[in-house]
């Protein structure tokens, strides 16, 4: 961008979320680049102020809790040239029309992926070692020699791994897994064979991934095509003792079919996402010993959130300087994104 007037940045994430991702140092950097306006303390307050703030906005910084920008909002924002999203999923917040109007959109998905991939690894190892059952037994005071009864731990080294989806998180997960030297099959109809070869994985159809893997980790986005992509038939194909990890979205897994399969005790699972959320207190998933549950926090670490905010402010600096962006979303990516 050029011109003598300082650009105007409107932060549409509510204040508590802003505090998570924009440290004092990063806010000072943003203030050195532009005039900054904060839209409100809550999502509702932000939504109520958008009409007043957007006409003067050159850049929008969004994040968790930010209200969606609609076509009507874009009509009121003739100066808007950049949307920098400090979180991962952008599709709910930004309409496809933004790309048609030449608005540049970037997000921190690649940074969020680091934390999510670590959680996928954590859940994988915990499931293989049946860690939570042992921990619960120790806390409950069960006799020491009774705890290993039925205990059949497995190591990750050399296991057959199946990935469903080959996006940012899956690629970081692959990097974390290298010391364990797994054999990897990947299902992703959008991934080119040449790129799969670069990643060191074999492309396979979904049935093959489920049938031949000791561990299946789900990393597919929410699209019409991925609704219940893994259902009863695919779950039946899993090997006895297989581990299923989902740190992506519950949308991809048929929850009823998954519950039925877990209730047989034949497989184990590590789940960070559910349908619905929050997971009801009476959910049968909560009563199963062969599933590890976490409340949709796979990407939530202090370090990842602060890195996400810093990355988007650095992206704004590059944009204002006319330099290439590191986290820009291409228009043709948008349709297949989460």
Residues identified as active-site: 249, 277, 296
Under 8 Å between Cβ of 63 and 18: yes
Measured distance CA(144)–CA(79) in Å, rounded? 67
CA proximity to 219, closest of 299, 311, 308, 131: 299
Measured distance CA(85)–CA(274) in Å, rounded? 24
Give 165: exposed, middle or buried? Use CB within 10 Å, 0-12, 13-18, 19+. Answer: buried
Angle between helices 302-320 and 24-33 (to 10 degrees): 10
Under 8 Å between Cβ of 37 and 60: no
- DSSP output for 172-234: HHHHHHGGG--EEEEE-TTS-HHHHHHHT-EE--HHHHHHT-SEEEE-----GGGTT-B-HHH
Under 8 Å between Cβ of 180 and 206: no
Measured distance CA(111)–CA(177) in Å, rounded? 18
Q: What is the 3-state secondary structure (H, E, C) of 90-107?
A: CCCCCCCHHHHCCCEEEE
């Amino acid at each position: 961008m050029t011109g003598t007037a300082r650009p105007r940045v409107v932060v549409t994430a509510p204040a508590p979320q802003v505090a998570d991702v924009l440290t004092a140092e990063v806010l000072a950097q943003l203030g050195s680049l532009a005039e900054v306006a904060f839209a409100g303390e809550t999502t509702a307050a932000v939504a109520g102020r958008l009409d007043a703030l957007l006409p003067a906005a050159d850049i929008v910084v969004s994040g968790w809790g930010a209200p969606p920008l609609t076509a009507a909002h874009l009509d009121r924002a003739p100066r808007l040239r950049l949307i920098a999203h400090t979180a991962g999923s952008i599709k709910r917040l930004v309409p496809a029309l933004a790309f048609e109007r030449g608005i540049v959109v970037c997000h921190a998905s690649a940074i969020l992926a680091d934390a999510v991939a670590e959680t996928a690894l954590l859940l994988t190892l915990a499931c293989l070692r049946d860690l939570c059952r042992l921990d619960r037994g120790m806390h409950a005071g069960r006799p020491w020699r009774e705890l290993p009864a039925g205990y059949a731990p497995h190591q990750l080294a050399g296991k057959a791994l199946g990935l469903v989806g080959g996006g940012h998180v899956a690629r970081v997960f692959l990097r974390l897994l290298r010391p364990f030297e797994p054999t990897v099959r990947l299902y992703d109809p959008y991934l080119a064979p040449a790129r799969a070869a670069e990643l060191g994985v074999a492309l396979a159809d979904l049935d093959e991934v489920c049938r031949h893997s000791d561990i299946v980790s789900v990393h597919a986005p929410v699209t019409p095509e991925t609704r219940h992509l893994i259902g009863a038939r695919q779950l039946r194909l899993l090997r006895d003792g297989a581990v299923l990890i989902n740190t992506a979205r519950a949308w991809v897994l048929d929850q009823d079919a998954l519950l039925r399969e877990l209730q047989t005790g034949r497989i184990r699972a590590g789940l960070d996402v559910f349908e619905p959320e929050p997971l009801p207190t009476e959910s049968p998933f909560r009563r199963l010993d062969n599933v590890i549950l976490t409340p949709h926090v796979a990407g939530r670490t202090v370090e990842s959130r602060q890195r996400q905010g810093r990355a988007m402010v650095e992206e704004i600096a590059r944009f204002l300087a006319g330099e290439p962006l590191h986290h820009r979303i291409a228009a043709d990516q948008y349709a297949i994104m989460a």
